[in-house]
Structures are given as structure tokens and as C-alpha cells.
């Protein structure tokens, strides 16, 4: 027993400190592939003013009166197609990414994961980390490209949670890594590995990023520029490899929602156009997603296949995200070590 603990009064509450927390954060997922769970998730997600930049008094009428009464049924069917015995693929993969990091760092580094919307929540995980004595926490938004509707909402929620805490931990945030060599090299290596395993030689590769309303670009959000830079730098790396000799690269944006203009070209219309103009062999990569989710496993892999083949295409494959691949985990470890410098 040290002199500090000897001098504590008998009624002093127990204090735990000296640990460092790391929290991997991804977008979120419903608790189950059923309309009720999807409705709860969409209500939280679509009520975020960073996500929907319409005056709340107008948007809430649309959300509660129309969207939450129609979209949950459709979305639940999409989630049901990709749900596994381990639950949501996005939550499962993010959890396994965190688990894989545990053995790579010292025992005083506590690594966990959270969802921005849904469970486990950021509030729950920060409370647990501070309860384990983490007085320094690194928040790692798993979004390579910065966007107010993704990265900034993590900042917002962490600030809200800390605003209710008396003893706040010191914080660091992993910055966007859209153009970092570790990320681009990991993508290039993992995509090359997957193309080598295909039974056909692709003619075209789409690099599909999640779409955003055009107004986000017009208001100064860097997301579109980050996506284009990722696509350009990744294309340069892949074009130099024999597996991609002769492949034409295209950059597209998926998941349009609502009547507003979105970033273009859109992935779905591009798939149809490619099939109609005679492209027979096409692959899709989703470099903006750190883990496979409903947008890649259902929208791209299932809906996208139908769109391409119905338009005349033949061979089609959606390459997996970095997930827990060797290249992906090595990249995450390097990223965390870089941002933990000085703490470890």
C-alpha cells in the first residue's frame, strides 16, 4: 500500500485510473432484422440533424408521418437477407476488429467498439471504459473519408456524453485517413488478393462510395473530394498491377434516398448503363466502408447483381471490405499506434 492510498479517508469512493481506452466507432445497425427494430434504429439515425439537414419542424412531420410507417418494412427485408447467426454483419465485424486489436497492445490498453446509432452505444462504451480506469480515450471513427453526417456525428455524441460527466477523460480522435498510404496499400493488397481468386477477368471496376446529397458538397463538406482522392490514389496503385491490366475504373455513389439531388454518377444507374453498352464482366469495391454491411452485402451484392445482369451483364462480383483481413487489421493497428503516440 502506497502513502497516497494510506491517506485517503475511509469513506472515499474507490478510484480507478491509469488505463488507456480505444473505441472503434461505426455507423450503426438495428438490433434485429424486424420492422420494429429497424423503426427504432431509423428514428434515431434520421433524427440526427447532421444526417438530415431539413428544418426539424418540417422533417419530423415527414419522418413520423410517412417514412417510419413505410420504410422499416422494406429495410427489414434487406437486413433479413444478410443477417447471420452472430447478428448484424456490421456490428459483428466491428467487434471482431476490436477483438483482434486486443492482443496487439499492452494490457493497460482497453479496446472496444461502439455504434453511433443503435447498440452498443457510444455512451454505454465510454461509461464502461471510464469505469475500467481509462482516463485517456482514443476515439476511432471508422470512416476513411470525412463527412459531417458520419465523422462529425461521432464528435457530437462524444461531446454530449462527456458534457454529463464530472471526471472527463482526456480525448483524441483518429483523423480521416482517406489518403494515408497505410490505408491505400491495405486496400490495394486486399483487392488484388480477391481479384486473383475470381473465376473471370474483369473489364470494369466500380469504386462505389456511399452517396450524400449534393448540397453537402455545395455547403463545403470535404466528403466528395476525399472520395475522389481515395479513388484516384487507389486506381494508381491497382493499375500498376498485372491483375488489373486493361481494367477500366469508375467512381460512383450509392444509396440515394429522397427526391433531392445526390452526388453522381450513381452506382445503380452506372451498373445498368454498363450492362446495356456491352460490359460483360464487372467487379465492385466499396473502399469507403471499413466493414461489410447492408449497403455492400445487400444493395451492392444482391440488388447490384440483378441490375447488371438484367441489363445484359454476365460475370459480377462485389469484393469484400477490409473487414478482418490481414491487410485490414495491420492497417488498423498502424493507425491506432500512430494516434496513441505519446500515450504508449
Topology alike, domains 19-177+328-339 and 181-318: yes
**Structure confidence by residue, pLDDT tens digits, 227-250:** 999 999 999 999 999 999 999 999
Reply yes or no on whether the pLDDT at 3 is more than 50.
Answer: no
The residue assigned the cell 473519408 is 145
The domain locations on the chain are 19-177+328-339, 181-318
Question: What average pLDDT is seen over the chain?
Answer: 95
CATH topology of domain 19-177+328-339: Rossmann fold (3.40.50)
The alpha-helical segments, DSSP class H, found in 51-180 are 56-62, 68-82, 89-102, 122-131, 151-162
- Residue 5, pLDDT > 70, answer no
User: Which cell numbers hold the place of 137?
Assistant: 480515450
Class assignment of domain 181-318?
alpha beta
Of the candidates 242, 241, 210, 213, which has an alpha carbon nearest to the alpha carbon of residue 226?
210
Which residues does residue 171 pair with via DSSP β-bridges, in sequence order?
A: 137
Distance CA 317, CA 320 (A): 9
Interval 66-109: pLDDT, tens: 999 999 999 999 999 999 999 999 999 999 999 999 989 999 99
Q: Taking the CB of residue 157, how many other CB atoms lie within 10 A of it? A: 21
Cβ atoms within 10 Å, residue 340: 17
Express each pLDDT in 75-86 by its tens digit.
Answer: 999 999 999 999
Instruction: Tell me what the mean pLDDT of segment 120-148 comes to.
Output: 98
| pLDDT of amino acid 11 | 72
- pLDDT tens digit string along 310-323? 999 999 999 999 99
- In this prediction, residue 7 has a pLDDT band, given cuts at 50, 70 and 90, of low
Q: Quick one: DSSP state of residue 300?
A: I
For residue 286, pLDDT beyond 70: yes
CB–CB of 158/171 below 8 Å? yes
Planar angle of CA 328, 333, 335, nearest 5 degrees? 95
- At 154-191, the pLDDT tens digits run 999 999 999 999 999 999 999 999 999 999 999 999 99
Amino acid at each position: 500500500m502506497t502513502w497516497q492510498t494510506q491517506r485517503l479517508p475511509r469513506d472515499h469512493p474507490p478510484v480507478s485510473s491509469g488505463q488507456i481506452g480505444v473505441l472503434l466507432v461505426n455507423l450503426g445497425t438495428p438490433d434485429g432484422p424486424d420492422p420494429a427494430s429497424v423503426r427504432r434504429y431509423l428514428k434515431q439515425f434520421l433524427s440526427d440533424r447532421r444526417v438530415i439537414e431539413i428544418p426539424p419542424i418540417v422533417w419530423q412531420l415527414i419522418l413520423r408521418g410517412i417514412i417510419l410507417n413505410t420504410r422499416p418494412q422494406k429495410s427489414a427485408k434487406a437486413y433479413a437477407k444478410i443477417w447471420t447467426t452472430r447478428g448484424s454483419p456490421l456490428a459483428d465485424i466491428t467487434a471482431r476488429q476490436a477483438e483482434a486489436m486486443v492482443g496487439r497492445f499492452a494490457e493497460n490498453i482497453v479496446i472496444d467498439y461502439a455504434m453511433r446509432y443503435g447498440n452498443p452505444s457510444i455512451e454505454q462504451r465510454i461509461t464502461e471504459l471510464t469505469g475500467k480506469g481509462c482516463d485517456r480515450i482514443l476515439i476511432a471513427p471508422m470512416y476513411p473519408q470525412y463527412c459531417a453526417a458520419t465523422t462529425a456525428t461521432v464528435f457530437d455524441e462524444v461531446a454530449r456524453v462527456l458534457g454529463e460527466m464530472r471526471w472527463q477523460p482526456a480525448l483524441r480522435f483518429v483523423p480521416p485517413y482517406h489518403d494515408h498510404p497505410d490505408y491505400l496499400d491495405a486496400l490495394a493488397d486486399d483487392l488484388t488478393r480477391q481479384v486473383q481468386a475470381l473465376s473471370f477477368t474483369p473489364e470494369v471496376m466500380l469504386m462505389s462510395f456511399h452517396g450524400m446529397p449534393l448540397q453537402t458538397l455545395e455547403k463545403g463538406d470535404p466528403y466528395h473530394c476525399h472520395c475522389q482522392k481515395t479513388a484516384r490514389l487507389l486506381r494508381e496503385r491497382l493499375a500498376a498491377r498485372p491483375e488489373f491490366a486493361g481494367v477500366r475504373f469508375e467512381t460512383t455513389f450509392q444509396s440515394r434516398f429522397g427526391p433531392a439531388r445526390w452526388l453522381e454518377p450513381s452506382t445503380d444507374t452506372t451498373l445498368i448503363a454498363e450492362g446495356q453498352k456491352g460490359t460483360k464482366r464487372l467487379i465492385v469495391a466499396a473502399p469507403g466502408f471499413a466493414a461489410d454491411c447492408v449497403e455492400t452485402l445487400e444493395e451492392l451484392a444482391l440488388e447490384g447483381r440483378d441490375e447488371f445482369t438484367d441489363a445484359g451483364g454476365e460475370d459480377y462480383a462485389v469484393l469484400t471490405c477490409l473487414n478482418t483481413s490481414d491487410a485490414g487489421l495491420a492497417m488498423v493497428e498502424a493507425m491506432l499506434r500512430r494516434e496513441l503516440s505519446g500515450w504508449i
